[in-house]
Chains A and B, each alone.
Chain A
């Protein structure tokens, strides 16, 4: 009996999954060849589940800048900024992010996960109230536990429920912080941000938007959902990541809030971990410049996203509620989901198999994320493999029959 025996229920479920011949939580790539191609088990795959929205991971300029910075400044900072100091790259990256968002302040973290941990645990504390969308990412939930604020969950994408819960707090002291995401990572749905901003104004709360999946994806200049919804002035804090559209790793927070820099000596996930290495910062800066200089990337991305989304719906698959680069297809049960996912890989298409408890409402999802770097031919090939797999599993035998009733 090991100390880990307490996780027996998870082990049992995981073992059962692996017994069916797949391990979707531990896919091994023999090679990753480009933003859209990799090799699994000796077979070349179209990568359709990597969050590589702008396809910049192999951009020659970004790669070159990373190489140059690594040669010039070394592979790592070997410590946190409070101990080992700030490199030029940290300041330059923070300046570039702040300028991109038109905000006074920016702060970078070593991962997007840590950005949420560091910001949420610092903005609110004992006696404050954190209002979370029920479908929030794990990093938001974990960040909420790191501080001591009272955490209240509201129904997903439901401004009325949020309002009701804020109204219940009338007369209670303490700051209120509303946390929502630009694009939710499982179904690709966006937050009703205009309505949420209105609730924020009416109740005197602060608003934080996590634009992890919407930076470089939504908005006229790629600043995310707040820009697309025209409510940037209502958003007090934006958190995001470099690991999706910017093709590297790291997280950030931007704001116009006074006293912003106090977070640098309060936020433990900022202070007690090694800072970003020079090579990562250099490629991120390069990618941020590309994002701004090449708006066609965003247009290519949305064109590909709509092509996949519309194609799957036309075949009768049930997808998320709106076309975005995250395109999720609901499966009726776990057995079918696993089989479908396995057959897609055998057909040369890699995407994510998303199972409860990682999914909202316990749905089983085949989750794809589209890239600007996908060619039309790759999207069409993926659609063909979906159609073929759907037919052989009895999904598409009667015209436009819905695949599942879950979404």
Chain B
């Protein structure tokens, strides 16, 4: 079911993709954390959302399932904010760098 939602963003403008992905990510955060969250581009995933390392791992795995990507550990380490995450997911969805 989730896989279908992502089709909505294919072909949109960058801004639309960003907004749509922000909504999807927000939903995934809420599922993993079990509470409502408000996220902005500059929301710090660990500090502002109070996630511990296990929470981050579960969240990353949920993101990976949803977008059908694998985020390598070095890329995860570079993600601090929601904007970083959106950028990484968009980048990986274009396909692996060959």
Contact = CB atoms under 8 A, between A and B. Distances in A.
Contacts of A151: 72-74
Interface stretch (B13-21, B49-57, B81-89): B49-57
Interface in B21-61: 52-54, 57, 61
B70 interface: yes
Given A151-B72, A152-B72, A362 B96 contact: no
A134 interface: yes
Interface string B64-98: 00001110111000000000000000000000101
Contact of A165 (B52, B53, B70, B74): B70
Interface string A155-185: 1000000000100110011000000000000
Contact of B52 (A144, A153, A155, A362): A362
Contacts of A155: 61
Contacts of A173: 98
Contacts of A394: none
Nearest to B52: A362
A150 B97 CA distance: 11
A13 to B, nearest CB: 12
Interface residues of B, number: 13
B54 A150 contact: no
B52 A152 contact: no
Given A357-B53, A361-B54, A144 B96 contact: no
A356 interface: yes
Contacts of B53: 357
B61, B68, B96 — which one has the most chain A CB atoms within 10 A of its CB? B96
A152 B73 contact: yes
Interface in A132-160: 134, 144, 150-153, 155
Interface string A357-374: 100011000000000000
A293 to B, nearest CB: 43
Nearest to B68: A168
A58 to B, nearest CB: 39
A139 to B, nearest CB: 15
Contacts of A134: 57
A356 B61 CA distance: 19
A142 to B, nearest CB: 12
A155 B57 CA distance: 10
B32 to A, nearest CB: 13
A127 to B, nearest CB: 9
Nearest to A168: B70
B70 A152 contact: yes
Contacts of B98: 172-173
Given A155-B61, A361-B54, A362-B52, A169 B74 contact: no
A150 B72 contact: yes
B64 to A, nearest CB: 8
Given A168-B68, A169-B96, A153 B54 contact: no
Contacts of A153: 57, 73
Contacts of B72: 150-152
A150 B53 CA distance: 20
B62 to A, nearest CB: 11
A153 B98 CA distance: 20
Contacts of B61: 155
B70 to A, nearest CB: 5
A-B residue pairs, 8 tightest by C-beta: A151-B73, A150-B72, A152-B70, A172-B96, A165-B70, A362-B54, A168-B70, A151-B72
18 contacts: A134-B57, A144-B73, A150-B74, A151-B72, A151-B73, A152-B70, A152-B72, A165-B70, A168-B68, A168-B69, A168-B96, A169-B70, A169-B96, A172-B96, A173-B98, A357-B53, A357-B54, A362-B52
Given A168-B69, A168-B96, A172-B96, 16 more contacts: A144-B73, A150-B74, A151-B72, A151-B74, A152-B70, A152-B72, A153-B57, A153-B73, A155-B61, A165-B70, A168-B68, A173-B98, A356-B52, A356-B54, A357-B54, A362-B52
